[in-house]
């Protein structure tokens, strides 16, 4: 699984305060802690924590690079100027492996973000929605996904550099629609060969529940069975990571050894 650490996000109070006070320590701590816990990428999201998000994302990326110059970074923003500033900051501070999180499937957005992907050699998370808004069923998601993959081919981006996101929602508020996500994931795996990666923002699902760790963990295992191979998640939740690793093992995507958790953690990244 491609594990994308969710924790450097202005939605969390410590990161919000760090941005406001220009205190790099919490950012550096979370960078190292998440990498230690098995993160392949660190998601960097200013959110609403700053009135000058392009400056704030640059500052966050620089702090991550100070702590971990070999880390891979996903810039998480819907705003073009923030995305561009984040990718440029990665380049300037020596971070070689980058990801765009995210674009929608709207033609203008794809043109802009696929252009950035080529310019910066970044992979791209694509939300499977377009100008029609948040998806409510399977067919819309799959149609958006097919359009995205056709555009990726047109822009000569390899399928391995695309991550389709079916847009996970909270079980608490959209219980009857969760099944759509699994069906969409199954259909995404059939769109082209080799298939693109498939990712969700996992913590969306358990949001607001009293047992969010259990909800997130169970959802993740079910999604992996259906073809999910990436997630933006709490990599520091060891039970969550161990469940994901074990699900992949049972599905024959990891080689068994008596120490399979340790083997996964020491994998090349």
Nearer to ligand THG, 67 or 99 (CB): 99
Looking at the Cβ atoms of 88 and 101, the one nearer to ligand THG is 101
Contact 27, 64 (CB under 8 A): yes
Residues 79 and 84: their CA atoms lie apart, in Å, by 9
Interacting positions 220-239 with ligand THG (CB under 6 A): 232
Name the one residue in this structure whose structure tokens are 């073809």. 227
Task: Using CB under 6 A, pick the residue from 34, 50, 101, 161 that binds ligand THG.
Answer: 101
Read off φ and ψ for residue 156, nearest 5 degrees: 60, 40
Per-residue b or e along 172-208, where b marks 16 or more CB atoms closer than 10 Å to that residue's CB: eeeeeebebbbbbbbbbbebbeebbbbbbbbbbbbbe
Least distance in Å: CB of 157 to ligand THG? 17
Q: Which is nearer to ligand THG, 12 or 155 (CB)?
A: 12
Check: CB of residue 107 under 8 Å from CB of residue 148.
no
The one among 1, 2, 8, 9 contacting ligand THG by CB under 6 A: 9
Contacts (Cβ under 8 Å, ≥6 apart) of 91: 120
Residue numbers 113-142 binding ligand THG by CB under 6 A: 125
CB of 202 to ligand THG, least distance (A): 7
Question: Of 6 and 229, which has the nearer Cβ to ligand THG?
Answer: 6
* Interface of this chain with ligand THG, residues 147 to 176, rule: CB under 6 A: 165, 168
* Residue 207 binds ligand THG (CB under 6 A): yes
Name which of 24 and 47 has its Cβ closer to ligand THG.
47
Do 81 and 113 contact (CB within 8 A), yes or no? Answer: no
- Residues forming beta bridges with residue 44, ordered by sequence position: 8, 75
Residues within the interface to ligand THG (CB under 6 A): 6, 9, 11-12, 76, 101-102, 125, 165, 168, 201, 203-204, 207, 212, 232
């Amino acid at each position: 699984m491609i594990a994308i650490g969710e924790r450097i996000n202005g939605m969390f109070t410590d990161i919000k305060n760090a941005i406001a006070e220009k205190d790099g320590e919490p950012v550096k701590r979370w960078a190292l802690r998440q990498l230690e816990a098995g993160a392949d990428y660190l998601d960097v999201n200013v959110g609403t924590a700053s009135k000058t998000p392009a400056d704030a994302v640059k500052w966050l990326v620089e702090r991550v690079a100070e702590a971990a110059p070999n880390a891979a970074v996903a810039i998480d923003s819907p705003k073009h100027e923030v995305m561009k500033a984040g990718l440029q900051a990665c380049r300037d501070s020596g971070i070689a492996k980058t990801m765009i999180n995210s674009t929608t499937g709207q033609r203008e957005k794809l043109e802009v973000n696929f252009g950035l992907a080529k310019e910066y050699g970044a992979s791209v998370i694509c939300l499977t929605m377009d100008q029609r808004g948040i998806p409510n069923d399977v067919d819309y998601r799959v149609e958006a996904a097919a359009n995205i993959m056709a555009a990726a081919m047109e822009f000569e981006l390899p399928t391995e550099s695309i991550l389709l996101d079916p847009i996970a929602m909270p079980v608490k508020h959209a219980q009857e629609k969760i099944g759509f996500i699994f069906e969409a994931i199954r259909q995404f795996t059939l769109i082209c060969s080799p298939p693109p990666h498939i990712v969700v923002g996992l913590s969306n699902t358990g949001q607001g529940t009293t047992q969010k760790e259990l909800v997130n963990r169970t959802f993740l295992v079910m999604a992996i069975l259906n073809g999910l191979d990436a997630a933006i998640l709490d990599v520091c939740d060891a039970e969550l990571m161990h469940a994901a690793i074990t699900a992949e093992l049972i599905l024959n995507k990891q080689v068994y050894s008596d120490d399979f958790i340790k083997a996964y953690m020491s994998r090349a990244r």
